[in-house]
Amino acid sequence: MRVLAISDVIVKALYSPAVREIARDADFVVSCGDLPSAYLEYIVSMLDVPLYYVMGNHGGRGGAREFPEGCVNLDGRVVAHNGLLLAGLEGSIRYNDAPRYQYTENEMRRKALSLELKLWLNRLRYGRYLDIFVTHAPPFGIHDEGDAAHQGFRTFLKLIDRYHPDYMLHGHVHVYDNRIVRQSVRGHTLIVNAYGYSLIELVKG
């Protein structure tokens, strides 16, 4: 299976009919946040495959509709797609007084707790917790940055170490330079910064 992961910036080629060519083999789309609803709706209508998303700290980026239509919000939820188990957590670390979609580490831990219950139900039902973990922010110490706004969550590290998703897809950290690391491995998990876009061939671990 193949996933088109998008995040943070509009890629012009994806906002044109060329998206059909670029993402022709994509079975579904994952948005890691900070993208306008209209962009997500365009892509979902052109590709005619499901689009799963989490909100970034900037929400729907000031577009006319905060939540994209015809797309599935993954925040705090688990979703099964063709036998793949997806789960997500939105937002970034809190760094200013506009706390919508911003969470302290403690707040994120609480959000994660209720998600973990659902992961345990997955385990009972499907024999494993999850396959793809979708977030906006990175995990602490992986692809994150030193400034207040771009620090990752320690909570995410714990989730990776406890539940071993095959993939974690995140955004939030902008990649202006090709030398910046976009993929890292931690234990069993391939962590991908989806900034712009990334086509990922999913290999079941």
- In the complex, the residues that contact Zn ion under the rule CB under 5 A are 34, 56-57, 172
Least distance to Zn ion, CB of residue 48, Å: 28
User: Of 94 and 172, which CB lies nearer to Zn ion in the complex structure?
Assistant: 172
Q: SS in 3 state form for 88-152?
A: EECCEECCCCCCCCEECHHHHHHHHHHHHHHHHHHHHHHCCCCCEEEECCCECCCCCCCCHHHCC
> Least distance in Å: CB of 8 to Zn ion?
6
Q: Which of 106, 171, 164, 168 is nearest to 145 (CA)?
A: 171
For Zn ion, give the closer residue by CB, 1 or 149.
Answer: 149
CB of 105 to Zn ion, least distance (A): 16
Closer of 57 and 151 to Zn ion (Cβ): 57
Q: How far is the CB of 176 from Zn ion (least distance, A)?
A: 14
Residue pair 47/29 in contact by the 8 Å Cβ criterion: yes
- Please report how many Cα atoms fall inside a 13 Å half-sphere around the Cα of residue 115, on the Cβ side: 30
Instruction: Provide the minimum distance between the beta carbon of 189 and Zn ion in the complex, in angstroms, as a whole number.
Output: 21
Alpha-carbon distances, residue 23 vs 38, 86, 166, 195 (angstroms): 18, 20, 21, 16
Whichever of 56 and 68 has its CB closer to Zn ion, that residue is 56
**CA nearest to 56, candidates 101, 111, 2, 123:** 101
The residue whose Cβ lies closest to Zn ion is 172
Give whichever of 33 and 165 is closer to Zn ion, judged by the CB atom: 33
